[in-house]
Each structure stands twice: as C-alpha cells, then as structure tokens.
Amino acid sequence: MTSSAADTHRCPHSKSAKGTWSRSSHARPPSIPQVPNYRLSMTIPDWLQAIQNYMKTLQYNHTGTQFFEIRKMRPLSGLMETAKEMTQESLPIKCLEAVILGIYLTNGQPSIERFPISFKTYFSGNYFHHIVLGIYCNGRYGSVGMSRRAELMDKPLTFRTLSGLVFDFEDSYKKYLHTVEKVKIGLYVPHEPHSFQPIEWKQLVLNVSKMLRADIRKELEKYSRDMRMKILKPASSHSPTQVRSWGKSLSPRRRPASPPRRLGRRDKSPALPEKKAVDLSTLNEVGYQIRIYPSSGGQQEGAVVLRSALSPVSSGGTAIIY
C-alpha cells in the first residue's frame, strides 16, 4: 500500500485523526439572524420588506411542534414578551407566531396600522386555518406573515381597498384548490407594548362561501371605513357598542317600580272601609250614632264596639260606633 493510500485509510483512532476531530468539535455556532432596525432613511414598504425577510430567515416551522405558546386572550404586554423571546431564540415559527412578531417589530410606527386577518378553508374533506397580519398605511393595504406557500403570507403595500387584499388571498387559495369558507378580521392593534388590553381577533366574521363578491366587498369597505374612523370598539370591552334604532333613544330605561311592600304579621288585617257621611238626624243626645245588631254573628266588619262609654241598649244586642 502506498503512503497516499495509507493516509487515506489511516485508522480513525490515530493521532492525526484525533487532531482533526478536536478541531471539528470547536466549529462555529450557527449564526443568529439579526433583528432589523428601522432607519429614518427607510420607506415604510422597505421597512416591511426587511421585517418579512427577517421572518423568512427564521424559516417556517415544519416540525409539527410549536416552540412558543401563543394564547390569544393574553394581554398585549404578555404577547410582546413572547415576541421578544422569539428574537432571542431565533427558532422557526408558524403563522400565528409571525403575527405576534410582526406586531412587535412594527411597534412605534404610528403611521402603520396592524390588524389580524384569519382564513378558514376547505380542501379534500378537511378544514384549515391560517392567519396573517394586515397592514394599512397611507391609503394602501398589505400584509406580512409566514406560510408554507409564498402566495399566502406577505402581500405588497399596493392594494387600495381591504376587499382587494382579501380577494387576492382568495385567488391565491384557489391555486392550491382550497375553498375559502370564512374570513375573520380584527381591530387595529394599539402601539402600546405595555397595554393590558387583549388583541381583538375577530370583530368582523364573513361566511364568504355563502355570499356574493359584491356583498363581501360592501361589508369589507364599510368595516374598513369604520376602522379608519376609529369608531369601532372591542367586543370584549365593558361598555359594548349600542345600536340605535329609528325613533328610539339610547338613554337607559328607568327601572321598574319596586314591588309593593309585603304585609307584616301586624298588617295582615284587612283595611277599614271608607267612612261614610254621618246622618245628623240619627244622632242621640250624647252625639253618638248607635246601631243595634244581633249578637249571632251579624256584626259588620270594621265596626268598633263601644265597651265602656255606653251600655247595651237592649239585652239582645251590642252598642256599636263607627
């Protein structure tokens, strides 16, 4: 065997092989993607593209295990802490995690309005759920997010209407033979990372599979106009929005009158009848009106018996005064 062949087939436990193994064990750790920083020279579309590129660098999570727990009812401050962990761990993410990360990275940009857009689709006997982060800025709509399909995550900030953005997603789903069943749109997420208010995920729910496109467009345009005017309130707020009907007032109704007081043990006797006008012609010399009733239970109800002032007029009755 030649020397070159001997070098090729050298025993892995030889001295030179050990040196090679020790050098490989000190290999550089994998690089961590750098979190993008906004610069004043950047335009909003460039900034959103930088955020999307950062998400793509993290890659989509195909493992089937979600690395970060996202509870939708948590306050915004708690979700922002989870997003900070994503930037520190640099692990693959899914669509819901990408929405939280997109909110975290766009905080502090008041010209950018963020809102969640959810899709429920049907394909081959199964239902699928997906969510992206809708973006509104300077009269244009777009989105950022993550998906297995490139057409189902980020959309450029070029759509003039919200319906145009939603219809573009629907057309993208058709390429993969998915039928969009429902679309859910939330409210604008506030730019307050320390807010204790949860995100409103589904303020508007459209059953698009049973609606015409004209009706869908009408509902979306009305909803987007209300969002821009900031007149919508979260459904989870303590003071829900009241809808006023024609000719009716929104002032609170008066409470019904309290029920009549129940009679106590001392008040169970029936009320006395109203007093009648006294006929002066029947008065006696003392000034009392005296009537005689038989003592066999014929006494009228409510009469007062005069026990000491008058004596019985006859042996068969009792003197009674009203």
Give the pLDDT band of residue 31 (cuts 50, 70, 90): confident
What is the pLDDT, as a whole number, of residue 159?
97
Q: Is the confidence at residue 5, as pLDDT, over 90? A: no
Instruction: Please give the structure tokens belonging to residue 51.
Output: 């955020």
Give how far the C-alpha of residue 262 lies from the chain's centroid of Cα atoms, to the nearest Å: 44
Residue 294 lies inside a defined structural domain of this protein: no
Residue 63 lies inside a defined structural domain of this protein: yes
Average pLDDT over residues 223-246: 63
Q: What range defines the domain where residue 65 resides?
A: 33-228
Residue 13 lies inside a defined structural domain of this protein: no
Query: Secondary structure of the chain in the HEC alphabet?
Result: CCHHHHHHCCCCCCHHHHHHHHHHHCCCCCCCCCCCCCCCCCCHHHHHHHHHHHHHHHCECCCCCCCCCCCCCCEHHHHHHHHHHHHHHCCCECHHHHHHHHHHHCCCCCCCEEEEEEEEEEECCEEEEEEEEEEEECCEEEEECCCCCHHHCCEEEEECCHHHHHHHHHHHHHHCCCEEEEEEECCCCCCCCCCCCECCCCCEEECHHHCCHHHHHHHHHHHHHHHHCCCCCCCCCCCCCCCCCCCCCCCCCCCCCCCCCCCCHHHCCCCCCCCCCCCHHHECCCCCECEEEECCCCCCCCCEECCCCCCCCCCCEEEEEC
Residue 211 lies inside a defined structural domain of this protein: yes
What is the pLDDT, as a whole number, of residue 39?
87
Residue 69 lies inside a defined structural domain of this protein: yes
Residue 11 lies inside a defined structural domain of this protein: no
Residue 5 lies inside a defined structural domain of this protein: no
251-275: per-residue pLDDT in tens?
445 555 555 555 554 544 455 555 5
61-91: per-residue pLDDT in tens?
999 888 999 999 999 999 999 999 999 999 9
Give the pLDDT band of residue 218 (cuts 50, 70, 90): very high
Q: Is the confidence at residue 278, as pLDDT, over 80? A: no
Residue 76 lies inside a defined structural domain of this protein: yes
Q: Which residues are catalytic?
A: 95, 130, 147
What total number of domains does the chain contain? 1
Give the pLDDT band of residue 103 (cuts 50, 70, 90): very high
What is the pLDDT, as a whole number, of residue 40?
87
